[in-house]
């Protein structure tokens, strides 16, 4: 049996090592990051195992492989304090600002990784010795995990170097250095605005080059030939005295080598390995290449993460190519984590803010309380009791299609909210009892986002023409008539999407690119023999799909050869195999639906003329099939995408003989 049978996200997903030992446990013992699991039944060299359930700096060894360079300085966000920022390694940084610092702030990781959040101008922390973080004549790697809201200096040693976020239309991380004679800049690839990024500065004296890598991508190489030793400069400081733009830091580390940092391909492999381990998608074991293909998603996106089943699902903006590991409660009240795969989409509404909608019998004002992404985007609806109805309305032309209409709400004076489109009727949402009443011609749902925040969902098939979308502020008794003026409810995140049967994570801007997590299936990640087995666990929202969506797919790029396991629009599980243009098998599993917000354990095994599809221990086998060479020559393992996107969470992916 594979270790995946134990499944990678226990009841408490923040206890590292209950199921899949984190690489920090092996690193302490001197093992490599991709050393295989040791559980009985897993044959080393014969399996690909990707838990896809734990993210954060706990997944890092405290050295840089392959060079074995140990860390000299390490500052973790959760360690920052009111008076000082103690180092895990190295001297502490002393607090130098009086206010505007939030400690142990949320960060987009499933383990204990947190951030220190700065709300106003710096400097916020400073070293007491000028020698701390000096480069001198050594080769150095600087490691940063941060989110910066606008251009600003993140850290600096005046007279030696500074690291800053710069740019307007496109933002870049820029490291500037001065040797007393001239100044040079090292630039990252383009970054997404106001999002989390993980970056590595490689300052290599041996080959006289410097590079900035961020989110698995590499910036241009800067030559260092003729550049002198860096002066010690002034003390290291964190924060920009000239900017009050918000900044969050989860990790700062410095590694020093008296020799070089290896060839460029080694540096890129190192930054990608650490980035994918940090974000939770580096396999626990891979006989072939463990690195995901680096083009994950070409845009910023929201990652949702709950810390306990009843707590809030925080929304974190993560940068381009950052794979998303989300944690959500399931229908049984247990918390689980997995890779989130969503298709691309863009804003359809031309009025996103409640202030842009027509107010009838209500007033709209801003509220300072933070929304799920910690931004003050809540709006208060205050009812005017002299009116017989209390609605926000917006009319917009649309084609004939199925539309998903949703809004986030919190109860103030009343737990009752209504949504409607045109004359299709009102769906009534009772937040206190978690109940929905709706006409039979629409699909309505109430999604609990924890801590009193709910998402009201209204799905309907509309003809072409002008459609009017309404939010109804209903009284404490659920009626449209109020006895007096009062703050009825908070709302945020108004969204209407065509061609969808349920909403996805909120859009972070005008559009979001599709997620694309894939691995090389060559060089050993697929067994050499005729037989093989795919295993994984899947969590899909309790909602009807509009289209089919792949869970796992093995294929050859530019060729129709494939083995595809997918969910249908009806929620059933299907699988088929094609080789050299011929369909080898294709059958479904209709004993249950996957679209029920419950984790389902799926196994697909083929070989010796038999293909068996097993869901939650219930097997359906088909024999007398041609399984010879079915998977030989297939090149990629696609997770959550292929025949459409899965639009849910996947964990515990493995390939075994």
Q: How many CB atoms lie within 10 A of CB 395?
A: 13
> Comparing C-alpha atoms, which of 517, 64, 584 is closest to residue 322?
517
DSSP code of 441? Answer: T
Q: Report cis status (omega within 30 of 0) of the bond before 66.
A: yes
Retrieve residue 484's tokens: 């007096």
The DSSP bridge partners found for residue 429 are 417, 436
* Angle value at C-alpha 483, between 480 and 488, nearest 5 degrees: 65
Q: Are 169 and 206 in contact (CB under 8 A)?
A: no
HSE, side-chain direction, 13 A CA sphere, residue 248 = 23
In a 10 Å sphere around its CB, with 0-12 CB exposed, 13-18 middle and 19+ buried, how is residue 242 labelled?
Answer: exposed
> Comparing C-alpha atoms, which of 335, 337, 303, 342 is closest to residue 319?
303
Q: What percent of the chain has pLDDT over 90?
A: 71
Q: Report cis status (omega within 30 of 0) of the bond before 123.
A: yes
Lowest-confidence region among 178-182, 211-215, 338-342: 178-182
Condensed to tens digits (0 to 9), the pLDDT of residues 384-400 reads: 988 888 999 999 999 99
pLDDT at 404: 96
User: Largest Cα–Cα distance of the chain, in whole Å?
Assistant: 79
Angstrom distance (rounded) from CA 7 to CA 20: 8
Task: Give the predicted TM-score (pTM) of the model.
Answer: 0.91
Angstrom distance (rounded) from CA 143 to CA 253: 5
Q: How many CB atoms lie within 10 A of CB 562?
A: 20
Lowest-confidence region among 192-201, 289-298, 355-364, 511-520: 289-298
Residues 6+ apart with CB under 8 A from 645: 341, 342, 343, 514, 515, 549, 550
Condensed to tens digits (0 to 9), the pLDDT of residues 568-619 reads: 888 888 888 887 777 888 887 776 788 999 999 999 999 999 999 999 999 9
Q: Are 282 and 274 in contact (CB under 8 A)?
A: no
* pLDDT above 80 for 287: yes
SS3 state of residue 176: strand
Q: What are phi and psi of 91, to 5 degrees?
A: -75, 155
The DSSP bridge partners found for residue 315 are 304
Helix ranges (DSSP H) in 10-153: 23-28
Q: Are 276 and 282 in contact (CB under 8 A)?
A: yes
Which contiguous run of DSSP H or E holds residue 140? strand 139-148
pLDDT at 598: 96
Which contiguous run of DSSP H or E holds residue 656? strand 649-656
Condensed to tens digits (0 to 9), the pLDDT of residues 25-53 reads: 332 322 232 323 333 334 444 579 999 99
Q: What are phi and psi of 481, to 5 degrees?
A: -100, 130
* Residue 491: alpha-carbon gap to chain centroid: 24
Q: Are 219 and 212 in contact (CB under 8 A)?
A: yes
Retrieve residue 207's tokens: 């080959």
Question: Mean pLDDT of all residues in the chain?
Answer: 89
Q: How confident is the model at residue 312 (pLDDT cuts 50, 70, 90)?
A: very high
* Angle value at C-alpha 319, between 453 and 645, nearest 5 degrees: 70
Residues 6+ apart with CB under 8 A from 559: none
Angstrom distance (rounded) from CA 266 to CA 316: 31
Lowest-confidence region among 322-331, 343-352, 477-486: 477-486
> Comparing C-alpha atoms, which of 209, 62, 60, 234 is closest to residue 140?
209
Angstrom distance (rounded) from CA 380 to CA 366: 6
pLDDT at 551: 95
Retrieve residue 317's tokens: 């903006």
DSSP code of 285? Answer: B
Q: How confident is the model at residue 6 (pLDDT cuts 50, 70, 90)?
A: very low
Angstrom distance (rounded) from CA 108 to CA 195: 10
Angstrom distance (rounded) from CA 338 to CA 324: 8
Task: Output the CA torsion 92→96→102→107 (10° steps).
Answer: -50
Residues 6+ apart with CB under 8 A from 302: 315, 316, 317, 318, 373, 505, 506, 507, 508
Angstrom distance (rounded) from CA 562 to CA 558: 11
> Comparing C-alpha atoms, which of 508, 495, 410, 400 is closest to residue 457?
495
Angstrom distance (rounded) from CA 126 to CA 144: 17
Q: What percent of the chain has pLDDT over 70?
A: 93
The DSSP bridge partners found for residue 346 are 511
Angstrom distance (rounded) from CA 27 to CA 74: 17
């Amino acid at each position: 049996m594979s270790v995946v049978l134990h499944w990678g996200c226990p009841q408490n997903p923040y206890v590292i090592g209950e199921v899949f030992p984190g690489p920090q446990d092996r690193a302490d013992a001197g093992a490599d990051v991709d050393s295989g699991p040791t559980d009985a039944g897993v044959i080393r060299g014969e399996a690909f195992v990707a838990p896809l359930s734990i993210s954060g700096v706990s997944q890092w060894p405290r050295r840089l492989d392959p060079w074995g360079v140990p860390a000299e300085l390490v500052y973790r966000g959760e360690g920052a304090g009111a008076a000082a920022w103690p180092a895990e390694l190295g001297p502490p940084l002393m607090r130098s600002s009086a206010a505007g610092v939030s400690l142990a702030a949320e960060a987009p990781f499933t383990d204990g990784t947190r951030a220190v959040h700065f709300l106003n101008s710096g400097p916020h922390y400073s070293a007491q010795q000028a020698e701390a973080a000096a480069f001198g004549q050594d080769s150095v790697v600087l490691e940063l995990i941060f989110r910066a809201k606008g251009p600003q200096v993140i850290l600096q040693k005046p007279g030696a170097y500074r690291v800053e976020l710069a740019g307007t239309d496109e933002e870049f991380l820029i490291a500037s250095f001065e040797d007393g004679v001239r100044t040079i800049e090292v630039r990252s690839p383009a970054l997404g605005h106001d999002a989390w990024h993980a970056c590595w500065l490689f300052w290599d004296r041996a080959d006289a080059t410097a590079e900035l890598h961020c989110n698995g991508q590499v910036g241009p190489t800067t030559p260092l030939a003729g550049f002198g030793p860096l002066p010690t400069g002034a003390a290291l400081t964190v924060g920009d005295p000239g900017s009050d733009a918000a900044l969050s830091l989860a990790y700062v580390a410095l590694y020093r080598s008296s020799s070089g940092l290896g060839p460029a391909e080694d540096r890129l492999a190192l930054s990608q390995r650490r980035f994918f381990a940090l974000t939770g998608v580096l396999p626990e074991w891979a006989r072939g290449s463990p690195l995901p293909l680096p083009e994950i998603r070409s845009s910023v996106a929201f990652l949702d993460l709950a810390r306990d089943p009843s707590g809030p699902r925080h929304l974190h903006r993560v940068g381009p190519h950052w794979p998303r590991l989300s944690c959500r409660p399931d229908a049984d009240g247990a918390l689980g984590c997995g890779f989130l795969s969503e298709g691309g989409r863009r804003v359809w509404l031309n009025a996103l803010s409640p202030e842009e909608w027509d107010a009838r019998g209500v007033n709209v004002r801003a509220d300072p309380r933070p929304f799920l992404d910690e931004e003050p985007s809540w709006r208060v609806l205050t009812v005017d009791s002299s009116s017989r109805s209390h609605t926000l309305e917006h009319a917009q032309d649309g084609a004939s299609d199925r539309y998903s209409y949703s809004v986030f709400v919190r109860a103030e004076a009343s737990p009752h909210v209504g949504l409607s489109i045109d004359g299709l009727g009102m769906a009534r949402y009772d937040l206190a009892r978690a109940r929905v009443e709706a006409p039979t011609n629409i699909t309505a749902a109430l999604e609990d986002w924890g801590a009193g925040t709910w998402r009201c969902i209204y799905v309907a098939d509309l003809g072409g023409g002008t459609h009017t979308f309404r939010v109804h502020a209903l009284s404490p008794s659920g009626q449209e008539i109020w006895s007096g003026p009062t703050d009825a409810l908070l709302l945020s995140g108004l969204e209407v999407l065509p061609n969808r049967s349920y909403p996805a994570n909120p859009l972070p801007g005008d559009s979001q690119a599709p997620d694309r997590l894939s691995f090389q299936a060559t060089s050993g990640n697929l067994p050499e023999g005729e037989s093989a087995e795919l295993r994984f666990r899947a969590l899909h929202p309790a909602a009807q799909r509009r289209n089919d969506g792949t869970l796992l797919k093995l294929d050859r790029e530019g060729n129709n050869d494939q083995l595809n396991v997918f969910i249908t629009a009806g929620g059933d599980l299907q699988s088929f195999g094609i080789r050299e243009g011929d369909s080898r098998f294709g059958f479904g599993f209709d004993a249950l639906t996957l679209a029920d917000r419950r984790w389902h354990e799926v196994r697909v095994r083929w070989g010796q003329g038999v293909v068996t599809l097993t869901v939650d221990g219930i097997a359906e086998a088909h024999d007398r099939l041609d399984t010879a060479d079915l998977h030989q020559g297939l090149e990629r393992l696609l997770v959550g995408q292929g025949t459409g996107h899965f639009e849910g969470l996947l964990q515990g992916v493995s390939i075994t003989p």
